[in-house]
Chains A and B, each alone.
Chain A
């Protein structure tokens, strides 16, 4: 199971782009990279998943370099409601959430 490393916290302001980088040096060939978001008093919520290059949906973009040893979640033009904990997960069903990155968006 690939171990991940991500920053503990990040601060931003409304309207800015937030980029969270996750390191996963021992990612396996068949591992996908998945990001979840968690608000206080709620369960995590799926944001995006990718294998390589770039994936974009209505919420975020996920950038994965060719060596796949890291990935970057990009949240465009954040608002106060994007304040949450963001988890990077790699691999199979034994999802290891880790401590995540607490993103705080200020007005």
Chain B
């Protein structure tokens, strides 16, 4: 079974430029998560989707970050414009359903460097 796929794996941009990350969850997984992970810290939840609906985006900096999950499958996370402090790893995860009982499967992440 294929795991969570993310692309690109690495991205280097200059500040104020836009950037987008793509995630393809495991087939059949209704719940999709985007996390941000800074160096030396654990992942922090940005947004959670149930199918195509964003059910928790309270941690998403909406002035510059946006996300979508078209047709309840693939998802895209966008930053516009990027700032130096956005340099981090962006992780996508999926699970069969919401709730703590459902194991989350993580992708390898996209490492963003903002210069």
Contacts and interface: CB of A to CB of B under 8 A. Distances in A.
B98 interface: yes
B91 interface: yes
Contact of B104 (A85, A95, A98): A95
A41 interface: yes
B42 interface: yes
Contact of B100 (A44, A93, A99, A100): A93
A87 interface: yes
A24 to B, nearest CB: 13
Contacts of B108: 41-43
Instruction: Say what secondary structure dominates the interface of chain B.
Output: loop
Given A32-B100, A91-B100, A44 B106 contact: yes
Given A46-B104, A93-B56, A98 B42 contact: yes
B100 to A, nearest CB: 5
B42 A87 contact: yes
Interface in A89-107: 91-100
Contacts of B25: none
- Size class of A's contact patch? 20 to 34
Interface string A64-107: 00000000000000000000010100011111111110000000
B21 to A, nearest CB: 13
A46 B98 CA distance: 15
Contact of A93 (B43, B98, B106): B98
A64 B47 CA distance: 30
B4 A43 contact: yes
Interface of B: 4, 31, 33, 40-45, 48, 56, 91, 93, 98-101, 103-109
Interface of A: 31-32, 34, 36, 41-46, 49, 85, 87, 91-100
5 residue pairs, one from A and one from B, having the closest CB atoms = A43-B106, A97-B42, A46-B103, A92-B100, A97-B43
16 contacts: A36-B104, A42-B108, A43-B4, A43-B108, A44-B91, A44-B106, A92-B99, A92-B100, A93-B33, A93-B48, A93-B98, A95-B100, A95-B104, A97-B43, A99-B40, A99-B41
